[in-house]
Amino acid sequence: MSEDYSIYIRKSTDQQSDDHQREDIKDWLDSEGVQISEVEVFAETGSGASSARDQFTTLIQAVENGEYSDVVVWEVSRIARKGFLAQRFFDACAEHNVTIHITNGSVRRIEPDGTGRLVADIIASVAAEQRRTLIRRTKSGQKQARKAGKWMGNPPVGFVVVDGYLKPNLDPQYDDGETAFFDVVDALESINTGTSYSKAAANTPNITRQTLSKIDQDETRRSWYLDLDAEDERVQGAIASVSE
């Protein structure tokens, strides 16, 4: 195995593929007369904004130990989507005389002497700002959706989301793991008369003892089912149809 080259590959989620990264990097290595099978590959799934990446950390440690002279990545954003993480990587490579090769992007090479670093810094900063902008827009969109009465995220047990709005599940698809709103009502009422959580859960489709326990011990949530009353306007709007 070559001790000179290493590769870093990152995809953000399990649903994504890193094949395009591998193919581009393989083509680049071929042009350098290096076989990808002879190169250490650090590949992982994780957010570029997270420092808790085992392969990323291991690669930096290897660079600091002087194990490589060259690191190949697909593009700068694969290294990190937070500026300080990218700088940490760039600094480690510069301090240990490692050249970074980027197979896709405006800058293709970052030398230990600083050549290409300015452009890479700008690209990393832009990626970080894009991430911050996306977060701001997402939060703003969620806030507006909540104001409009729309439900964000997974619905509570016994509810479904229809066209963005929370509704009691009155016609559950049990085979798909759904639970009816009134199934939860019946379970909580039986608990009030002395039935154990375990027995109530066993008699209720697609609900666990732990879930029933949490609902029963949460006064606010329990009132949704037993009193048909909720402080959350989205929930109140949903249960209004069964409280009339």
Neighbours of 52 (CB within 10 A): 8
The answer to whether residues 113 and 183 belong to one domain is no
Q: What is the 3-state secondary structure (H, E, C) of 69-123?
A: CEEEECCHHHHCCCHHHHHHHHHHHHHCCCEEEECCCCCCEECCCCCCHHHHHHH
The pLDDT assigned to 243 comes to 60
- Tell how strand 70-73 and strand 5-11 pair up: parallel
Q: pTM, whole model, 2 decimals?
A: 0.52
Give residue 2's pLDDT band: very low, low, confident or very high (50, 70, 90).
Answer: very low
Would you say residue 137 has pLDDT above 80?
no
77 or 30, which is more confident: 30
195 domain-assigned:
yes
Would you say residue 9 has pLDDT above 60?
yes
Q: What is the pLDDT of residues 173-212, one digit of tens each?
A: 999 999 999 999 999 999 999 999 999 999 999 999 999 9
Q: How far is CA 50 from CA 84, 124, 156, 172, 238, in A?
A: 11, 14, 29, 39, 38
105 domain-assigned:
yes
- Tell how strand 109-110 and strand 5-11 pair up: unpaired
Q: What is the pLDDT of residues 11-59, one digit of tens each?
A: 888 878 899 999 999 999 999 999 988 899 999 998 777 777 899 999 9
The answer to whether residues 181 and 84 belong to one domain is no
The pLDDT assigned to 146 comes to 56
The pLDDT assigned to 134 comes to 60
CA atoms within 13 A on the CB side of 76: 26
Give residue 149's pLDDT band: very low, low, confident or very high (50, 70, 90).
Answer: low
The pLDDT assigned to 194 comes to 92
Would you say residue 145 has pLDDT above 80?
no
What DSSP line would sit under 185-221, residue for residue? HHHHHHHHTT--HHHHHHTSTT--HHHHHHHHT-HHH
The pLDDT assigned to 181 comes to 94
97 domain-assigned:
yes
Domain boundary among 76, 100, 135: 135
- CB proximity list for 184: less than 8 A, separation 6 or greater: 157, 158, 204, 207, 212, 215, 225
The answer to whether residues 15 and 52 belong to one domain is yes
The answer to whether residues 172 and 95 belong to one domain is no
The pLDDT assigned to 118 comes to 83
Would you say residue 244 has pLDDT above 60?
no
Residue 153 zone, left/alpha/beta (φ > 0; ψ -120 to 50; rest):
left
Please state the φ and ψ torsions of residue 71, each to the nearest 5 degrees: -125, 135
Domain count, the chain: 2
The pLDDT assigned to 197 comes to 95
Give the amino acid at 174: Y
142 domain-assigned:
no
Would you say residue 119 has pLDDT above 90?
no
Q: Which domain holds residue 231?
A: 159-243
Percentage of the chain beyond pLDDT 90 is 54
Give the CATH number, domain containing residue 27.
3.40.50.1390
Radius of gyration from C-alpha coordinates of the chain:
27
The answer to whether residues 9 and 91 belong to one domain is yes
152 domain-assigned:
no
